[in-house]
């Protein structure tokens, strides 16, 4: 995970603006696979958590600005 901006030890995750108004930050990837997208307002890093609710497997990826 990339570090946050100078002077901050931890990211402050907020839901991204993608997805629908009723469920921001959540995107269906087809079937039972969902992606939850959060962004740190301090440094702009994006965290994407993918979950498959049938196999109960998931993964997390980070993208620096």
Mind listing the pLDDT tens digit for each residue in 17-48? 888 888 899 999 998 999 999 999 988 999 99
For residue 4, what pLDDT is reported? 87
CA distance 15 to 21: 11
- Positive or negative CA dihedral for 43, 62, 51, 18? positive
pTM: 0.83
**What confidence score (pLDDT) does residue 14 get?**
93
């Amino acid at each position: 995970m990339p570090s946050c901006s100078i002077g901050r030890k931890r990211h402050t995750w907020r839901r991204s603006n993608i997805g629908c108004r009723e469920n921001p930050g959540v995107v269906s990837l087809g079937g039972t696979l969902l992606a939850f997208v959060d962004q740190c307002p301090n440094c702009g890093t994006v965290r994407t958590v993918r979950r498959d609710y049938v196999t109960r497997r998931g993964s997390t990826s980070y993208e620096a600005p």
